[in-house]
A and B are shown apart, each in its own frame.
Chain A
Amino acid sequence: MDETKPSEGVVLTPRQLRNRRLRNLAIGLSVGLLAALFYAITIVKLGPGILRPEP
């Protein structure tokens, strides 16, 4: 092994790079959807309670 040459590590193929980008995008969208879902659930379940003034 040529020790003078720096290691390139794992080199991804164009297909692997493209699919990794798509996976990241899908994870981002899913997390965003989950946050929006929990926001909506919170508003529906607690909304009237939040808006009702303390006696």
Chain B
Amino acid sequence: MSIASHNESVSPIGVGDYAAGPAEYFALLKPRVMSLVIWTALAGLLVAPTHVHPVIAVASILAIAVGAGAAGALNMWWDADIDALMARTRLRPIPAGLIDPREALFFGLTLSFLAVLTLAAAANLLAAALLAFTIFFYVAIYTMWLKRSTPQNIVIGGAAGALPPVVGYAVATGSVTLDSLILFAIIFVWTPPHFWALALVKSGDYARAGIPMMPNVKGADRTRLEILIYTLVLVPLGILPWRMGIGGDLYAAVAIAAGAGMAFMAMRVFRIREGSRASKAAMQLFAFSILYLFLLFSALVVEHGFGLIERFGL
């Protein structure tokens, strides 16, 4: 069996006529993940100490967004068989029978190629190579290998989600520096508590699909402990950009306040272990973690995008 025919035998749940419109193809790009990628890449681009022409900035962010979307499409192509088994994902375009798996594969490959090419033309080869590596890491290392083989899947795989600010920074400077690596580290350490909070609630789904998520392999209690540990590492790490001068006072206030919120919620997940209150606490942490990351990078975008740091010495 060739790799291109992977998942061709998955029986569609829904209509099954493969008559997808643009909306279904857009859904293949995982637009919610893409929006976070756009935001973190933009922050990486703006914190760089060099000026970027607005046209180059827009073209680069667009290329990074499309590259992330392409990785999402390739992820959905490979995972269609397990997506069909989980309530959360069974209505995605491929298991719903709206898009043929082979079309999703070629859609993802085409967009990946165009995104990397566009970034190479608009910015530089390092940024393009980093984007290509991000797509490769997400699809080949995380999706095809780690996701189904180890409970550390999202820990290591989190590197792919953490790379967009590094790519954004490379667009502006043509280099990778400690500044961009700190932004990488924040998202990398943020990923486990974010996904494991969801996995605590959806462990039945993951068990049905045979995905070795932390709660299924090591148990809910161990997962709660690891969520707490990662969060306690994350909070000071989130404040580090302020100490390093990447973020100003606005960033510091946001990082401290939102970090306190993350620590509080992770503590609640650790303490409340039984019944619907436990699920509620986990889902609240999951939702808040998205807000946390959004707020941190928004503070950087606001400070650097509107020149607050330079103008007011914040």
Contacts and interface: CB of A to CB of B under 8 A. Distances in A.
- Tell me whether chain B's interface is mostly helix, strand or loop, or mixed: helix
A24 to B, nearest CB: 10
Nearest to A17: B19
Contact of A41 (B17, B19, B56): B56
Contact of A22 (B17, B22, B55, B122): B22
Given A16-B17, A44-B53, A44-B56, A37 B118 contact: yes
A22 B62 contact: no
A18 interface: yes
B19 A19 contact: yes
B144 interface: no
A39 to B, nearest CB: 10
A17 to B, nearest CB: 9
A23 B59 contact: no
B121 A16 contact: no
Contacts of A20: 19
Given A37-B62, A41-B56, A18 B114 contact: no
Using C-beta atoms within 8 Å of the partner chain, give the interface range for chain B. Answer: 10 to 19
Contacts of B20: 19, 23
A5 B165 CA distance: 62
A7 interface: no
Interface string A22-55: 1101100000001001101101110000000000
22 contacts: A12-B19, A13-B17, A15-B17, A15-B19, A16-B17, A16-B19, A19-B19, A19-B20, A19-B21, A20-B19, A22-B21, A23-B21, A25-B22, A26-B25, A37-B62, A37-B122, A38-B118, A38-B121, A41-B56, A41-B59, A41-B122, A44-B55
